Amino acid sequence: MPRSPSRTTNSRRRAERRGQAGEAIAALLLRAKLYRVLARRVKTPVGEIDLVARRGDTLVFVEVKTRSRAATEEQAHAAVNRARIVRAANWYLMRHPRLSGLTIRFDVIFVAGLSLPRHIANAFEAF
């Protein structure tokens, strides 16, 4: 008889679904702002990029933070692993050299509960 799933597994699955829903909302927000979403959930050997978007001559790597309450937004911003995202972005650019001539930007989109998503353009610089 197979073991029943643990609470940790179930809560992890719920968190994963909530994160995917947040990424879908963030992608809709970017499209409404006339960005073209080039890729979602890009997995690289050095980390994951939630969204890659382009508007004009700007290529944007977006980290999406989904929380249950907007009050935790500062904590979510502090939790952004900038070094991982920059490494993953560099890997992505090596795999897509035609995009390397564009202006690169790193954004964060917060999705929290029933609040409107908040888009922070140029949230951090690559070091």
Tokens of 88: 């993953």
Residue 8 pLDDT = 62
Does residue 67 fall inside a structural domain? Answer: yes
Residue 79 pLDDT = 62
- CATH number at 64 reads 3.40.1350.10
Does residue 34 fall inside a structural domain? Answer: yes
Does residue 26 fall inside a structural domain? Answer: yes
Does residue 42 fall inside a structural domain? Answer: yes
| 127 residues of the chain, pLDDT tens digit each | 565 555 568 888 887 888 888 999 999 999 999 999 999 999 999 999 999 999 999 999 999 988 776 656 666 666 678 889 999 999 999 999 999 899 999 999 999 878 899 999 998 887 5
Q: In DSSP terms, which residues pair with 67 in a beta bridge?
A: 112
Give which of 33, 31, 28, 26 is closest to 49, Cα–Cα: 26
The total number of structural domains in the chain stands at 1
What length is written for the chain?
127
3-state secondary structure of 102: coil
Does residue 1 fall inside a structural domain? Answer: no
Q: Give the range of the structural domain holding residue 114, as residue numbers without chain letter.
A: 7-124
Q: In DSSP terms, which residues pair with 72 in a beta bridge?
A: none
With the CA atoms of 19, 22, 24 and 26 taken in that order, what torsion angle do they form, in degrees rounded to the nearest 10? -130
